[in-house]
Structure 1
């Protein structure tokens, strides 16, 4: 029996240049246990990926701000304060960095993502004023409500699926995966993971990105 999985997306199911590694489309549908996709991305992204992978739509989005399992969507926090902070950041000369259409944030419900080229010092100063955390995923800064975490999302999804979070094996690459590693029974940081993820994981893979994830899947079978 293979274990259920909770998988980050960016840096974990992707190529080094950021696209979904095509090998995911063979490996994940063949996995004979539940798979939960856990990401900092807006809710539609992991749902769409589940759809194209042809696996059940079980997701943790926006670092745990939105959770979807067993045909129920739960928004866990109020989204107003992150957007108020984002507006203050822009008013003070900051730039979210995504252009006028801002498709990165267009469908977010509980947080705001800011390009890594942004003024980090200003962003963190504004976040502190609004009592928000800044989470660096390696792909963006995220203005998030304190206490929102992927690990809590995993506990919620596991309950909906009739499982224990400790039943899951987690794979990820960044600081927003630390709470998932703490909630899951076993955890793996891929070789490209940041220092916080590597320190929190039970294991670090030899391979990076999807190579590391496939290394985990092979070891679990």
Structure 2
């Protein structure tokens, strides 16, 4: 009997409900029953995907903050620090702009390696300021992420593979954004959901018609072991 392949799954736009917000609960049982490793690879702050794994009942294999934070289940690796991104955020605010998340800012409160700016905020001044610090701005479709150019999700997935029994050649990835391109490049098979941006569509082995969690559920059913 064939084995389930490892899965590498983005969150926003990929595990979310068809209307685009909140994890689709239909995913919990298939992921809990999956026999191979499931890696959650996301731009969200480090605690969020760890909590998702915890509450879904699956091993905590996490690439967070676009590769800036990686958890292998035993060890945590931080591949960048937040200092420069924090400086960009303060300069952006001093120029009269806002990060957009309100005073409590739970989006950034627990970030270790980058800063996220709400998608409705001006991006060009943000890019200009970030460039002065040697950082890049990645548009995930849900936020602008100010980050070190070096780490990415694909590198984080490689790190997990080096510390676990995850076979990258057998792995299947699903994503929706430019920050998933590096993931698509390191796995054996990749899918862009129907709501994916042009970068993800161009990098994926296949672009799906269905969107959000409907698309991911379809992939899971297709690649499930016989």
Scaled by the length of structure 2, what TM-score is found? Answer: 0.96
Following TM superposition, the consecutive aligned residue runs of length 4 or more in structure 1 with deviations greater than 6 angstroms are none
In the other structure, the counterpart of 2:86 is: 83
Q: Secondary structure at the residue paired with 1:29?
A: helix
1:21 matches 2:24: yes
- Aligned partners of 1:123 and 1:54: how far apart in 2? 38
In the other structure, the counterpart of 1:63 is: 66
In the other structure, the counterpart of 2:100 is: 97
| Structure 2 alignment gaps of length 5 or more | none
1:177 matches 2:166: no
Contact 1:171-1:187 at 8 Å conserved across structures: yes
CA RMSD of aligned residues (A): 0.9
Give the superposition deviation at 1:27.
1.4
1:209 matches 2:208: no
Note the alpha carbon deviations across 1:47-98, whole angstroms, 9 max, x for none: 1100110000110000010000131111111221110111111111110000
Aligned length in residues = 221
| Structure 1 alignment gaps of length 5 or more | none
Contact 1:70-1:160 at 8 Å conserved across structures: no
Scaled by the length of structure 1, what TM-score is found? Answer: 0.98
Summarize the alignment of residues 75-154 of structure 1 with structure 2, pairs less than 5 Å apart: 75-154=78-157
In the other structure, the counterpart of 1:48 is: 51
- Aligned partners of 1:192 and 1:45: how far apart in 2? 22
Note the alpha carbon deviations across 1:103-158, whole angstroms, 9 max, x for none: 00000000000001111111111111111110000000000101110000000001
In the other structure, the counterpart of 1:3 is: 5
